Amino acid sequence: MNRINKLFQEKKNILSIYYTAGYPNLGDTVAIAEELERSGADLLEIGFPYSDPVADGPVIQASSKSALDAGMTLKLLFEQLKDLRKTVSIPVLLMGYVNPLLQYGVANFCKSCAEVGVDGCIVPDLPMAEYEEFYEKDFKQYDLTNIFLVTPQTAPERIQKIDSLSNGFIYLLSSSATTGQNLQVSEGTEAYFSRIAALKLKNPTMIGFGISSKETFDKACQYANGAIIGSAFVKNLKADDVSGSVKEFMKTFKP
């Protein structure tokens, strides 16, 4: 059983934290992971930066630009993560866009993930059909979980297909906006979450986009197995006190 499946079997109200590799300082990637685990995070999503992060809001866009300007690449990220599993035991995903992944080579990417102990990845702009036809075999060969995204506009048939291709969890976008928007649980949003629940999916679900406080985290957990915090965490990071800013942020969720 992989780390992701084990986590969802053992815990409820799972807290996943996203941050950008190489931000706020180029060498902070593993130190942030270590501090997040110590501070109570259940799951980590490490973003590999890209020059055109279309699904991301201004906070994550700015962090990606900063990391790229400092010299972050996928090659460097894997070098930074080579000793990850000596100090970090919780599940770790890499999140980013398909262009850098294709440039690196999908099979090479999957192999590198396995070598450093990464459990899976989220690639929002990788089409499901292309994944199934060309890349699923590489993910399976290296026992990597590929996390698919669902939006309020995703058709039930597509969600069922995503469920059949998934072996970790399904990422429910709270809205079709970019990252960094505040979660607003309107009647429409509640109906969307209820529709998902009615499908009785075999995979657990996590809600992301707009989770920025303990209140919005708790609200999301009413509808899913947990929630993902990204922009609010990245915005809080201080280059001159990374460890302290991680601890301070996490106190809100894990006092």
pLDDT of residue 113: 98
pLDDT, mean of residues 222-241 = 95
Within a domain: 155: no
Q: For 165-214, write each residue's pLDDT tens digit.
A: 999 999 999 865 444 445 555 557 788 988 999 999 999 999 998 888 99
pLDDT of residue 184: 55
Q: What CATH code is carried by the domain that includes residue 114? A: 3.20.20.70
Within a domain: 165: no
Whether 83 has a pLDDT exceeding 80, the answer reads: yes
> H/E/C letters for each residue in 99-148?
HHHHHHCHHHHHHHHHHHCCCEEECCCCCHHHHHHHHHHHHHHCCCEEEC
* pTM score: 0.94
What's CA 39's distance to the chain center, in Å? 18
pLDDT of residue 178: 44
The residues near 160 (Cβ < 8 Å, ≥ 6 apart) are 199, 201
pLDDT, mean of residues 16-33 = 98
Q: Which residues, in sequence order, are bridge partners of residue 94?
A: 46, 121
pLDDT of residue 210: 83
Whether 9 has a pLDDT exceeding 70, the answer reads: yes
Within a domain: 169: no
Which residue matches tokens 């939006």? 151
Distance CA 165, CA 161 (A): 6
pLDDT of residue 190: 80
> Structurally, how many domains does the chain consist of?
1
pLDDT of residue 53: 66
Within a domain: 164: no
Return the CA Rg of the chain. Answer: 17
Which residues are catalytically annotated?
45, 56
The residues near 121 (Cβ < 8 Å, ≥ 6 apart) are 93, 94, 95, 96, 109, 113, 144, 145, 146, 147
Terminal alpha carbon distance of the chain: 30
Q: For 134-179, write each residue's pLDDT tens digit.
A: 999 999 999 999 999 999 999 999 999 999 999 999 999 986 544 4
Q: For 29-77, write each residue's pLDDT tens digit.
A: 999 999 999 999 999 999 999 887 666 788 999 999 999 999 999 999 9
Within a domain: 104: yes
Helix (H) or strand (E) holding 18: strand 14-20
Whether 122 has a pLDDT exceeding 90, the answer reads: yes
The residues near 198 (Cβ < 8 Å, ≥ 6 apart) are none
Exposure string over 73-83, b if 16+ CB within 10 A, otherwise e? bbebbbebbee
User: Would you place residue 86 in the very low, low, confident or very high pLDDT band (cuts 50, 70, 90)?
Assistant: very high
Q: Which residues, in sequence order, are bridge partners of residue 150?
A: 172
What's CA 69's distance to the chain center, in Å? 22
Look up residue 101 and give its two tokens: 């992944």
pLDDT of residue 51: 83
With beta carbons less than 8 A apart as the criterion, state whether 227 and 15 touch.
Answer: yes
Domain region containing 18: 12-147+212-249
Helix axes 29-38, 242-251, angle to 10 degrees: 30
